[in-house]
Structure 1
Amino acid sequence: MATSWNGLSSVFNLAEENYVTLITALAFTVLWLLRSGLSYFRCRNRLPLPPGNFGFPFIGQTVEHLLAMRTADGVRQWMQNQVEKHGPLFRYRFVGYPIVMMSQPEGNKFIFQNEGTSNHMFWPSHMSTLIGPQCVITQGGERHKLVRRHLNRFFDRNAMSRHIHGVNRNAIRHFTNHWQGKEQLVALDMINLYSFSIICNLALSLEEGPLMDKIMEQFHPWSQGGYCLPINFPGFCYYKALKARGLICNLLDGLMKQRRRQIAEDHVPEALQKDILNRLLTVPDEEGNFHQDSFIKDNLLFLLFSGYDTSSSTLAMTIFYIAKNPHVYKQILQEHQLIVDGKRSNGEDENVMTMEDISAMKYTWGVIQETLRLHPAVTGTYRKTVTDLEYEGYHIPKGWLLNWNNQHSHYNPKYFKDPLKFDPSRWETRPPPFTYLPFGGGAHFCLGFEFSRMSMLIFIHHLVQNYSWSLVNSSYNGPFIRDPFPRTQDKVLISVKQLISSWMF
């Protein structure tokens, strides 16, 4: 009897187990059918993806895009080809990332106005490593706001009135030491030295000399790393860039240790107490926290970079276009002579510059703006979508990148008449919003814009007051190179002549 009961119990247990298994299987089946049904209706109702193609897995258009970035016109031509195939909104793949190019002003506006909500600042991992993960331009959201507010005190309009005398003093010394008595100069090399010495002085209280030269010689291989395949292996461009970054950071480490020792001993010279390094070491952020070394180095590195390349390439190309357009040179010279004449009539020191003088250089700034329209130092950056988006009748999935770019609008005859012509007079009126973006836009608008503007205008002021110049290769009209910033093949080789009426020397 017991045996029979055990056998019957086993049968019931087996039936129960099978019943549970059946119920479980049915439940999973129903859930799968519901999920599949929802996916079907969601996909059926979903808008199409933007036109374009991703090409080969991971690689996509990486190689052709990097090649296009090597010439000043390459990105514009590449974009134009894509626009002709797919329209102004198109998708592509770069180093594994799916990207949507938002090439119209409306697309730029959409990105900048929605930053922090539907999209955040983004850099591909290899570029973030190169620039610095704690750098202000690689930060997003609230962290970016906090860092930017902390650094903005060095670059707002009030700060410019404190910096102008140092910039002017550096400009006079630069022309005295490096231009006087020369018959030929490579303009880009000279301006790199000028721009870098200014930012080194502002950031580190560092003067021209062996240490500054050691830091400066690493910047070109470092800056090239963002324009090559991210292969961290000896012999490759990216490997050299990372090595250059490490060498620069080692030199910054030495400066930080020395300054900390001075701070501890309360022996920081007065001239050093106002530089950026000293403030970053001694002034906590808004939350009361002192900065880690990695934060300080990342942001110092970025500030030095901005002083080395971006302003330098713009000034060199400005000198190129002034030489190509004698009527532009004449108008600039007249504008700056009026400033000098006004100082003389008021009994003011001709060698002292004021913010009022900077404001009076309207035509000169128009010339620089026109140079930046044709050859912006930065053509665009990325934002990452944090939610699914619908834009212009297309679906953009969460996690994709949005690429704003100024090349399409800068050369669009709809916004700039005869766009290939160098015409500073077009800046007598403002262009439509979101069509002119050499300094970016939105929350990540160039932090050092005012400082860059001031330093470039002061350089032009002393240049036109003391020198005339011409291009050694006067017939040159391109091609223009990017390595990674725009320049001529000879880096703007010029013949210079010091003016007899020169008042500086």
Structure 2
Amino acid sequence: MASSWSGLSFVFAKESYPTLITVLAVTVLWTLWSVSGYFRHRNRLPLPPGRSGLPFIGQTVEYLVAMSTADGIRQWVQKQVDKHGPIFRFRFIGYQVVILDQPEGNKFIFQNEGTSNHIFWPSPIFNLIGSHAVPVQTGERHKLIRRYLIKYFDHNAMSRYIRGVNRNAKRHFTNHWQGKEQLVGLNMTNLYTFSTICDLAMSLEEGPLMDKILEDFHAWAKGLFCLPINLPGFQYYKALKARRVILEVVGGLLEQRRKEIAEDRVSEASQTDILNSLLTVPDGEGNLFSDPFIKENLLVLLITGFDTSGGTLAMTLYFIAKNPHVYEEILKEQKSILERKRESGTDENDLTMEDISAMKYTWNVIQETIRLHPVLLGTYRKTVTDLEYKGYYIPKGWLLSWSNQHSHYNPEYFKDPLKFDPSRWETRPAPFTYLPFGGGPHTCLGNEFGKMSMLVYIHHLVQNYSWSLVDPNYDGPFIRDPLARTPDRVSINVKQVVAS
């Protein structure tokens, strides 16, 4: 028996050698890296305060947990600020990330993009977006593509799009609100914004194909901020699978359109959509875009066009329901716009960008919603040289993260910051304190389109419906997966109103 036990121990120990060697190797390498870091930096300024934590993992788990609720990241950032100060660092999926003070740090990042830092996406997110997409491009390539695409999102473009957006909004309320007594606000707003962006991008109308893409987009979006485990059953695996399906569907639409172009039978509506332009109009260097470029940029356009605006609209409906006086003020403003159109003899059903500009209070309500629950919390820039910032040393290769989670809730810039108060937007906030759409060269291209489409939606909504929360006492939590939105259980009671 003793002999058998001795032999078993020997076998066990022998089989454990690879594991022990691996553990020892990692420990030695980690120690050497830490010691070398000390000698590298001992004659320099101190590193920003914070914790590195375990190799690779760092604070990834706690950060992702905080990301699961709309208010979680604000609380997490505040906790770090209370502990380390307004400039701090943490480790996220293997990367050293520094969040700078706000608003000075945000200004520093944006004004130095392209010199001391450039846009960067951690590899799990990069793999979901794709190497050809505009958000990941840098330098001259990014400038070339942005110059090409900007014409689809400037004021002149909005003047062309608004008639179709207006038509889509009226159809949406007829098909999905009329006769209903109770709805899930998020489902309705996402359906509207997705059908609107699908029409603009690819002339794709509501139907089984659009429903399928929408389902896959939900899975894809949830993979942007989750543990990057590419194994069956995990969210990241589902997201990569959804991405492949979406690109296959978009690829099919691309081939169908290319055939229609060759046979000169593209419909009048499709001739002005973005897909048609990408297939027929060369870039600034005279080259047509590749299929991977077109598919990946349509993917990004669709996600930014629907989930950002859809989630914001759902949150706006919630805040309006919680503040009945806000509904009355919006309704008053929208009715005054119609009255002016009647007095001038213009068609009250045909909205213009002049009407959009007159929706000042309505836009203030949306801006206040975005301040409290911004769609985008921040993105990353990678340092391309060693930096010194406010007494701290930031090594080359570290990530800088601009953020709005401290400034949006800072009473120095927004009095009583947790209060929903649209009147605060009667004056402009200080520069770099309100950053719902990013900043610098990578400012969101579609923010004006999002603004216009959301205002058109509310214009028709308040004139035809009033609504209240099924649970009037609901006060959170709200969800972020990864974009802020109301949970599915936040339903609304709907009442159709008679137009006066």
TM-score if structure 1 supplies the norm length?
0.90
Show the counterpart of 1:136. 134
Given the alignment, which residue of 89, 93, 114 partners 1:95? 93
**Larger Rg computed on CA atoms:** 1
- Which residue type is aligned with residue 394 of structure 2? I
Structure 1: segments with no counterpart, 5+ residues: 1-38
| Preserved contact between residue 224 and residue 237 of structure 1 (Cα < 8 Å) | yes
Query: SS at 1:153's partner residue?
Result: helix
Distance 1:259 1:41, change over 3 A: closer
Query: Of 260, 271, 274, which aligns to 2:272?
Result: 274
The residue type paired with residue 289 of structure 1 is: N
1:225-268 alpha-carbon deviations (Å, 9 max, x no partner): 01111111111100000000000001011101111111111221
Of stretches 484-493 and 438-447 in structure 1, the one that deviates more from structure 2 is: 484-493
2:26 aligns with none
Shift of the 278–110 alpha-carbon distance from structure 1 to 2, 3 Å rule, reads: same
Distance in structure 1 (CA, Å) of the matches to 2:284 and 2:385: 30
Which whole-Å CA distance do the structure 2 matches of 1:40 and 1:82 have between them? 23
Query: What is the CA–CA distance in structure 2 between the aligned matches of 1:41 and 1:137, rounded to whole Å?
Result: 37
Q: How far apart, CA to CA, are the structure 2 residues paired with 1:485 and 1:353? A: 29
Q: Tell me what 2:146 maps to.
A: 148
**In 2: Cα distance, 1:193 partner to 1:40 partner:** 54
Match for 1:467 among 454, 465, 471? 465
Q: Distance in 2 between matches of 1:430 and 1:99?
A: 30
- Determine the structure 1 residue equivalent to 2:222: 224
Distance 2:288 2:253 in 1: 18
Runs of 4+ in 1 over 4 A off after TM superposition: 39-44
Q: Which piece of structure 1 moves more, 260-269 or 69-78? A: 260-269
Does structure 2 conserve the Cα–Cα contact (< 8 Å) formed by 1:202 and 1:275? yes
Partner residue in 2 for 1:48: 46
Give the match for residue 458 of structure 1: 456
* 2:119–2:136 Cα contact (<8 Å) kept: yes
Q: Which residue of 2 aligns with 1:197?
A: 195
1:294 corresponds to which letter in structure 2? P
SS in 2 for 1:380: coil
Alignment of structure 1 residues 192-341 onto 2, 5 Å: 192-341=190-339
Instruction: Give me the whole-angstrom Cα distance separating, in 2, the residues matched to 1:40 and 1:127.
Output: 31
- From the superposition, tell whether residues 42 and 229 of structure 1 become closer, same or farther in structure 2 (CA, over 3 Å): closer
What is the alpha-carbon distance in structure 2 between the residues aligned to residue 490 and residue 177 of structure 1?
A: 20
| CA-CA distance at 1:287 after TM superposition | 0.9
The corresponding residue for 2:371 is: 373
- The reply to whether residue 403 of structure 1 matches residue 406 of structure 2 is no
- For 2:347 and 2:434, locate their aligned partners in 1 and report how far apart those are by CA, in whole Å: 37
Partner letter of residue 428 of structure 1?
E
Structure 2 Cα separation of the partners of residues 406 and 141 of structure 1: 25
Counterpart Cα distance in 2 of 1:42 and 1:402? 20
| SS of match in other structure, 2:414 | coil
Contact persistence 2:381–2:400 (CA under 8 A): yes
Distance 1:416 1:204, change over 3 A: same
**Given that residues 408 and 434 in structure 2 are in contact (C-alpha distance below 8 angstroms), is that contact kept between their aligned partners in structure 1?**
yes
CA contact (8 A) 1:358 1:454 kept: yes
Q: Which residue of 2 aligns with 1:59?
A: 57
Q: CA deviation at 1:44?
A: 4.9
Distance 1:201 1:40, change over 3 A: closer
Give the superposition deviation at 1:43.
Answer: 4.6
Alignment-mate amino acid for residue 214 of structure 2 = M
What secondary structure sits across from 1:378 in the alignment?
A: coil
Whether the 8 Å CA contact 2:185–2:490 is kept in 1: the answer is yes
Q: Deviations over 1:162-190 (max 9, x none)?
A: 00100000001101111111111111101
2:368 maps to amino acid: E
User: 2:171 aligns to what?
Assistant: 173
Match of 1:105 among 103, 106, 119: 103
Aligned residue number for residue 76 of structure 2: 78
Q: Report the identity percentage.
A: 72
Partners in 2 of 1:105 and 1:351 — Cα distance? 42
Q: Which amino acid counterpart does residue 217 of structure 1 have in structure 2?
A: E
Task: Please tell me whether the aligned partners of residues 186 and 488 of structure 2 are also in contact (alpha carbons under 8 angstroms).
Answer: no
Matched letter for residue 359 of structure 1:
S
